[in-house]
Structure 1
Amino acid sequence: MQRTNFSDLAACSIARTLDVIGEPWSPLILRDVWVGLRRFDQIQGDLGISRKVLTERLNHLVEEGVLERRPYDQRPRHEYHLTQKGTELVDLLMVMTAWGDRWLAGEAGPPVLYRHHACGEISSVDLRCAHCGEPMHAGDVDPLPGPGASAPGASAAAEPADEPAA
């Protein structure tokens, strides 16, 4: 199956991210590597994904610099580890998880809980402004054009929203 290419939307950071993890298997592979399933057979067994598709996805994630291969055997066998780029993508997956827990978990509740290393408490992901520390959600921000918005094919989403009536 051929992947959709979002390169025509190159001035959109969402499109760029989707080029890396925009098909269903990649986020699940990243999740598995993050929780400690690092060998091909472990990931394949957990996901039930075909060997061919898993090979393609792992190669793509390595090429994108999200995962790195580390040999663990004399034979050409590798474990997969998150790079810094990959670890930051897991942050995105944690935000997706929070949405899924809120809207899709049902009465059973969330399937995974997060214990915060700093305080030892079970917590959830919360988006905060890097400058003031206040909550930062879609209704709390105005999207403004950035330096890359002048690039050809810049997304209309980068245009500033109309000012609210006073």
Structure 2
Amino acid sequence: MKNNSVPQCPVARGLDSVGDAWSILVLRDAHAGLTRFDQFRKSLGIVPSVLTKRLKALTEGGLLEKCLYSEKPPREEYVLTDAGRDFLPVLMMIGAWAHLYCDGDLARYVDAESGAEIEPVAIDAVTGTKLGTRALRLKM
């Protein structure tokens, strides 16, 4: 049994909430505007049973919510919650890291209005310092 008086590692807890790579890719696709089971399945090339589990976990975790879009026949779609929308910077930072350290011709995010390439940077809101430029420690 865990001692609830000791703070958990936020990275471990966050990963526990989000799940695995498939779940992160579902969130990526949800941010791109996909909402329906068949859209996710086609985009990801994922088997239905795995997708069903990931959508259920993301819904139970509060990142997606099911909304009825057709009554006859009853059909539901998955839409981002506030928590799901707040995951976008995490997706952007994973992509920025991949551009630096992974080989291959990788797609780039651009601003929809200006067309300018987006270069995500994580900044500490308290100090204004770019994360990764100063030592840090985890306070438990």
Coarse TM-score class (shorter-chain normalised): 0.7 to 0.9
Q: How does 1:142-157 map to 2 (within 5 A)?
A: 142-145=136-139, 149=140
Match of 2:101 in 1: 103
Which structure shows the bigger proportion of residues in helix conformation?
Answer: 1
Contact 2:69–2:77, Cα closer than 8 Å, also in 1 = yes
Contact 1:116–1:122, Cα closer than 8 Å, also in 2 = no
Q: Mind listing any 5+ residue stretches in structure 2 that lack a counterpart?
A: none
Q: How many residues align?
A: 136
Q: How does 1:21-60 map to 2 (within 5 A)?
A: 21-60=18-57
Q: Percent identity?
A: 35
Runs of 4 or more consecutive aligned structure 1 residues displaced over 4 Å after TM superposition: 7-10
Match of 2:134 in 1: 140
Contact 1:116–1:123, Cα closer than 8 Å, also in 2 = no
Structure having the higher Rg: 1
CA RMSD of aligned residues (A): 2.2
Structure 2 length-normalised TM? 0.85
Q: Mind listing any 5+ residue stretches in structure 1 that lack a counterpart?
A: 1-6, 150-166
Structure 1 length-normalised TM? 0.73
Change (3 A) 1:10 1:56: farther
Change (3 A) 1:132 1:23: same
